[in-house]
Structure 1
Amino acid sequence: MPTGTYAKKRLWRWRSNPLRRRDDIVEAWIVLAVWTVFAVGGAVAALVTAHAADDVFARQRAERQSVRALLLSDVPLTATAAGISSDRRMSTVRWTASDGSTRTGRTLVDTGLKAGSRVTVWQDGQGRLTAAPPSSMEAAIESGFLGTAAAAGLAGLVFGAGALARWRLDRRRVDEWGREWDQVGPRWGHKTS
């Protein structure tokens, strides 16, 4: 099929046509609006979300700092119910916060360590234990994933709203056809003998 013919068939709602109804024009505008919001809004949502996530991760890298801590109890190698050993377990550690105070808390440490071992832990600006901040590569990957998820979420909402609007138009067209058939149908109801 030549491309010109295909384009004419795809864009029939936009051309003057004696069979074109008002609902067909409304549907064409709905489809155009859905695709425009999807393209522009999806890109904006993805960029804004990815940028915001990247800012949060950069702030975490700036605020969190690693400190050396002393392990207060043994961390034995343990097997789970499925027979798989875990690499890390919660254990109690003692460290010196940035204000010079000695603190004690629980954090994940490698298994197989003995009491008195030195481990590296992460603390926030207030000296509380926290998870290690993501590396710049991890942050970039997660920011990209979150941006993609935001665009997909917006796409779902936009396409769902467009499908709902088109379904309502279809229902209205079917009802209109039913009313027209109620007027024309009896004229065709003669019987042949």
Structure 2
Amino acid sequence: MRAVAGVWRWRRNPLRRATDRREAWVALAALLLMVAAAPALGWVCGSLTDDALQKSVRVQQARRHVTTAVVLHRAPEAPHFVTDPEVSSERTPQTLVVARWKAPDGTDRRGTVTTLSRRTGPGAEVEIWTDLDGRPALRPMDAPTAHTHAALAGFGAMLLAVGLIEVGRRLIVRRMVRGRYIRIDRAWAQAGPDWGRTGTGS
């Protein structure tokens, strides 16, 4: 990006080359894209992601409900503590237990569920999440978690845009430098054999 300074520094330099000016302008254009376009792209991506996630939050919260289950015993094959990535307090310990509960239609259900309760002995009542049919379901995503995921998506999109712009700048400059060397080689091939000889051009 040091070539950006050349746009101002070389404007009146008699030794400047046309390729120097073009490289400086390419660098300046890339810098402006990084400063303006990349953050704008990240903001748009984050906003769209947040809208989609907030819609998902509303759908999940409408289709999942809290119900009371009675613990039969802990799940022997499962680890005692798990974490829930759908909530902002992702370090909240949860316990896997085998429990029974009633579905919305009144039928008895039984299965392995997670609970935040510290009382997980047989006969303890715990709150669990179920879907509309009474099947165990994950806790619905909350709004703060959705905002966090959207912000990370927007930041990632901005970084990706910056990386692509820099890669494009390097490719363009490399092609310009390669073209300059080709022109120098051609000029040297024409003038080189007679360079420095007495009476050249006579």
Q: Is the 8 A contact 1:90 1:107 kept in 2?
A: yes
Q: Give the residue type in structure 2 aligned to 1:38.
A: A
Q: Give the residue type in structure 2 aligned to 1:108.
A: T
Q: Is the 8 A contact 2:26 2:169 kept in 1?
A: no
Shift of 1:20: 4.5
Q: Give the residue type in structure 2 aligned to 1:99.
A: D
Shift of 1:144: 2.5
Aligned residue number for residue 48 of structure 2: 48
Does the alignment pair 1:146 with 2:182?
A: no
Shift of 1:111: 5.5
Aligned residue number for residue 111 of structure 2: 105
Shift of 1:41: 1.5
Aligned residue number for residue 131 of structure 2: 124
Aligned residue number for residue 160 of structure 1: 163
Q: Which runs of 5+ in 1 are unaligned?
A: 1-7, 81-85
Does the alignment pair 1:93 with 2:99?
A: yes
Task: Identify if the C-alpha distance between structure 1 residues 33 and 188 changes in structure 2 by more than 3 Å, giving closer, same or farther.
Answer: farther
Shift of 1:119: 1.3
Q: C-alpha distance in 2, partners of 1:104/1:89? A: 16
Q: Which runs of 5+ in 2 are unaligned?
A: 82-91, 198-202
Q: Is the 8 A contact 2:74 2:98 kept in 1?
A: no
Shift of 1:171: 1.3
TM-score (norm 1): 0.70
Aligned length: 173
Q: C-alpha distance in 2, partners of 1:188/1:31? A: 44
Q: C-alpha distance in 2, partners of 1:68/1:145? A: 30
Q: Give the residue type in structure 2 aligned to 1:149.
A: L
